[in-house]
Structure 1
């Protein structure tokens, strides 16, 4: 294919198969990468049309497209949208725990006969060698990994089952990979690329400035002040909306208090029975619930355009989580509001959730079991007594220190460290990761305290540059951001330049605010430094590209 024909062909498919008159900003370039058979990582905000980036090129590519997605509800919505058009060229089928053996057989038959184009599948299904062989026989032309941040140890929706995807995709023939997510800061992007084993991927990040979304932050000296601010917003704003809290108990208590005060609300968290969670999810999507009080477990897979506001009554664990959650508001393009009500005590809650170090003894025992021969996760759960989530996290750490190869069967690679050394290295790797996690919580507090344009601060965290104040945040509205921008001196290093610190190693300059600068270091995460001290002590030097 030659470059000039990409645009007309993509637009023709968008119009004829999907009824879309034009492509949205940020869609065309990654679509072009897909048609060139190149790996790509795409970061677009919620509601910006990420699915179209694989759906439209798929019609032009030979072989079916495999879509790997973590949520059955999200899959079902996307499948229904495709199949409602009644076009065999974009028909979708699914292989998951919800389908019977006969339905799965029928789905593969439809794909083999060319009567379906899209195969939606969960990572768990690809742990079955027979299933992998069936998918490989289809000779897929593309693999799209939705919600790709779930594969990252830095991602707030981390899924251990995603860890083996790099191996799984290799086993089905290694077609080009398109990774899609609504939020990915530089560490998350690097993790996605490494874990999916993307080959020289094109990286496309766009549309992160949500101009219809007003960002507002208020420091609350006590809970009574926070309650007044929250109910004041509820009195002013239309509904529906989501209130995010830090704990399951807080979700239940706040929902009860709101309901008793004349603001009917429901709660949602991961500790509820699955049937009740699904019912609450459906009720909110169907406008039967106006106010949902929830932990971070609520939100992924919500395809609801009319959410008018998202409020946080606790400091999120990172700007990644915050950006993902506020992105659920205003997907219809109408004005929406994001309100963060925080207290200093919120940080202590996040530190608690970050927890302590993994057990070196448990890691050693797990590594010892792996040395006995190839094993499945199910078998390891029985022999070690570890739960599925802890086992996934431990295998993740052992993989990163070269002590295990993941796949349908877990094996020990050649020259792997012995169990005791592997366990010690895994604990050390965990501590390194926790330094980055703690730094991201620091960046969330810095965002809350910032007098700079909120959007500028948020985009800088994600490695993007906003040329001028956004005009749709509280600091811009009251003139503070303009004053800061006018008085801000030029920094000693360009934004996004590579620098080196004597102790912390190589990093990237993310942004400046007043007399401070933020640097993202490879090993220790985000650090905020005093610019005068950096200059006086010569703490940073420009790093050569080969030094990274």
Structure 2
């Protein structure tokens, strides 16, 4: 048994000391310490923390400091394997039970659990709730105790979430069977509606709630026009060739994935396809090669996603339109999980709208179609928006953001600003005169004096606002309407019908107490990629040598390179160049186990580099 497994809270003078011992970090990220403290008090918790915020540590550290077994519910085999591998590499007793194991191997792991060698057990919800597993956990509780349940990807419990899974609804049985065992629900994305659904569906009792900012400041967001497939591919290839590191390219169809992967290969880019049409073996092989840095680019449908725990993805490109803002946030958020700069590009062409509309039409349920069409309108609004990209994204999750983020295309390359207060007054007045019962397209039809059936049936051709906006195109009015929505100056219902409603800020504009300034887009131009890293050339040479060493060590152990050390830790090594084990131990990400396992090899590489440079 690893000495780490014998750790108890009394061994450490502070939580920070335990953090350094197990995981190699000197300080907690924002919110982590308070979450760990609540877990040690055996409180239920709902944790909403964006990708890269350090959710896993919030239940892993308490599991190591509390007596008994912590059970982690995880939806995908790849996800649980990655986390277990990383924990084991830190000398922590962790394992998983799933359908990929031979019965004898599963039995061996159960014996290790009962012998107290395991602190964290990862299970899929289906496995956890089957008729054999729950009695086994009952026995574990009587013999060792159950420290808590951690439910990862908890948004799957809600049909309002972007990845609803019916089996997650059954997890409320945990509360019935183990009423005194705390439950921590964790997710990277959840609107207020989804958060409430998680609490109700899992029967969380007076939970400690932590909702971190959804802002990912290290990600650069941009939208590029897609005038033609040929031009779009040319820009995509240029971006891939100019960007170091791994990347993911998302497409809507399997055919597009195969075509794009083949084209990139022909142009000398190491790329592989990933979609549901491939065999299980082919998908697993391609994913493993990508995670272990054997290839640089994965071209994929959304089948490739939630189970990907690769922290050093440097770019995510959406070659086609995503289905919702929440999906886009989740998928683009797979870039830069290590906190280092990363690039998120969305290519937008009007043809994509038709493709998504076709997919929506294939849905059988009318309500599902209604919600999907509203989500499509929101994505188009994001793509065509003229304000800070973060303002639009974060407002979707109910988080205010002042704009001017300094790390999106609109903020770095601002467009001309015009005062459209009078137009805003016309628009809002029309909403009021239509009794706040209609959506944006109808308001625009009334303003522009349309004679369509819906306008005439409602007698809206008799309103004082009818035809007062003929001087502007429908597209111009849509720019205005989206600006009002994105700046919180008007509201829109979220039940699928997208009805516009006035709020207090709307009336301030109508009463001339507030003005509206909006960016009016010219023909977009996009700057060349810039080096946002500021990484010195001489340090870069050592960094690449350390990456090569990491890859060799990872291949010897058949694990992904980031399990050995993250890019962030390697950069610190390249910058600080520790030459002794004592110095190496101070690097963030170097815990007790990794110091023992890798310290000599990495310090030897650093000393060799310094000697070659004449810096000894």
- CA positional deviation for 1:239: 3.4
> Which residue number in structure 1 is paired with residue 491 of structure 2?
519
1:65 deviation in Å? 0.7
2:30: which partner in 1? 25
Separation of aligned partners in 2, 1:317 and 1:342: 12
1:278 maps to 2:213: no
> Residues of 2 paired with 1:190 and 1:443: CA distance?
22
Match of 2:136? 134
Match of 1:50 in 2: 55
Whole-angstrom distance in 2 between the partners of 1:484 and 1:106: 70
Q: Is the 8 A contact 1:245 1:295 kept in 2?
A: yes
Q: Distance in 2 between matches of 1:432 and 1:141?
A: 41
**Does residue 103 of the first structure (1) align with residue 105 of the second (2)?**
yes
Give unpaired runs (5+ residues) of structure 2: 1-9, 429-434, 440-481, 511-616
CA shift for structure 1 position 519: 3.5
Indicate how the Cα distance of structure 1 residues 184 and 115 shifts in structure 2: closer, same or farther if over 3 A, else same.
Answer: same
Question: Given the alignment of the two structures, is residue 92 of structure 1 paired with residue 94 of structure 2, yes or no?
Answer: yes
Offset of residue 213 of structure 1:
1.2
| Other structure's SS at 1:129 match | coil
Partner SS for 1:293: strand
Moved more, 168-177 or 77-86: 168-177
1:318 offset after TM fit, Å?
Answer: 0.8
The two structures, once aligned, show a CA RMSD in angstroms of 3.6
Partner Cα distance (1:84, 1:285) in 2: 16
Q: Does 1:34 align with 2:39?
A: yes
C-alpha distance in 2 between matches for 1:484 and 1:154? 37
Deviation per residue, 1:209-240 (Å, 9 max, x gap)? 22221100023233233223322322432232
Note the C-alpha offset of 1:481: 9.4
Deviation for aligned residue 1:484: 8.8
Within 5 A, what are the aligned runs for 1:242-281? 242-281=248-287
CA contact (8 A) 2:438 2:499 kept: no
User: TM-score with structure 1 length normalisation?
Assistant: 0.73
In the alignment, the residues of structure 2 paired with residue 325 and residue 515 of structure 1 have an alpha-carbon distance, to the nearest angstrom, of 24
Aligned-partner Cα distance in 2 for 1:515–1:18: 41
Do the aligned partners of residues 111 and 235 (structure 1) sit closer, same or farther apart at CA in structure 2, a change above 3 Å counting? closer
Task: Write out per-residue CA displacement over residues 296-326 of structure 1, whole angstroms, 9 at most, x where no aligned residue.
Answer: 1113232323322111111101111111111
Q: CA deviation at 1:329?
A: 1.4
CA–CA separation in structure 2 for the residues paired with 1:503 and 1:266? 46
Higher RCO structure, 1 or 2 (CA under 8 Å, sep 6+):
2
Asked whether the 8 Å contact 1:10–1:57 carries over to 2, the reply is no
Q: Which residue pairs with 1:329 in the alignment? A: 335
Which segment is superposed worse, 294-303 or 158-167?
Answer: 158-167
Change (3 A) 1:18 1:210: same
Q: 1:212-223 alignment to 2 at 5 Å?
A: 212-223=218-229
Please name the residue that 2:153 is paired with: 147
Residue aligning to 1:167? 173
State the secondary structure of the residue aligned to 2:210: strand
Determine the structure 1 residue equivalent to 2:68. Answer: 63
State how far apart, in whole Å, the 1-side matches of 2:377 and 2:390 are. Answer: 17
Verify the 8 A CA contact 2:323 2:379 in the aligned structure 1. Answer: yes
Could you say which residue in structure 2 is the equivalent of 1:458? 393
- C-alpha separation between the residues in 1 aligned to 2:163 and 2:416? 32
1:309 and 1:338 in contact (8 A); partners too? yes
1:518–1:198: structure 2 CA closer, same or farther, 3 Å change rule? Answer: farther
Contact 1:436 1:524 (C-alpha < 8 Å) held by counterparts:
yes
State which drifts further: 220-229 or 519-528.
519-528
How many angstroms apart in 1 are the aligned matches of 2:438 and 2:243? 49
| Residue number among 301, 309, 313 corresponding to 1:303 in the alignment | 309
Between structure 1 and structure 2, the one with the greater Rg is 2
Q: Secondary structure at the match of 2:313?
A: coil
Structure 2 CA distance for partners of 1:228 and 1:19, relative to 1, 3 Å = closer
| Aligned positions of 1:135-534 closer than 5 A | 135-139=137-141, 140-173=146-179, 175-356=181-362, 358=364, 431-480=366-415, 512-513=484-485, 517=489, 519=491, 521=493, 523-524=495-496
- For 1:120, the equivalent position in structure 2 comes to 122
Give 1:383's aligned residue.
none
Q: 1:488 and 1:55 mapped to 2: Cα distance? A: 54
The answer to which of 67-76 and 133-142 deviates more is: 133-142
Cα distance in 1 for residues equivalent to 2:252 and 2:386? 25
Write the distance in 1 (CA, Å) between the matches of 2:34 and 2:492: 27
Scaled by the length of structure 2, the TM-score of the pair is: 0.65
**More divergent stretch after superposition (232-241 vs 442-451):** 232-241
Residue range with higher mean Cα deviation, 32-41 or 214-223:
32-41
Q: Cα deviation per residue 1:474-533 (whole Å; 9 max; x = unaligned)?
A: 00011249889999999xx9xxxxxx97799xxxxx995578746364644765567799
Distance 1:357 1:295, change over 3 A: closer
| CA–CA distance in structure 1, aligned partners of residues 227 and 500 of structure 2 | 25
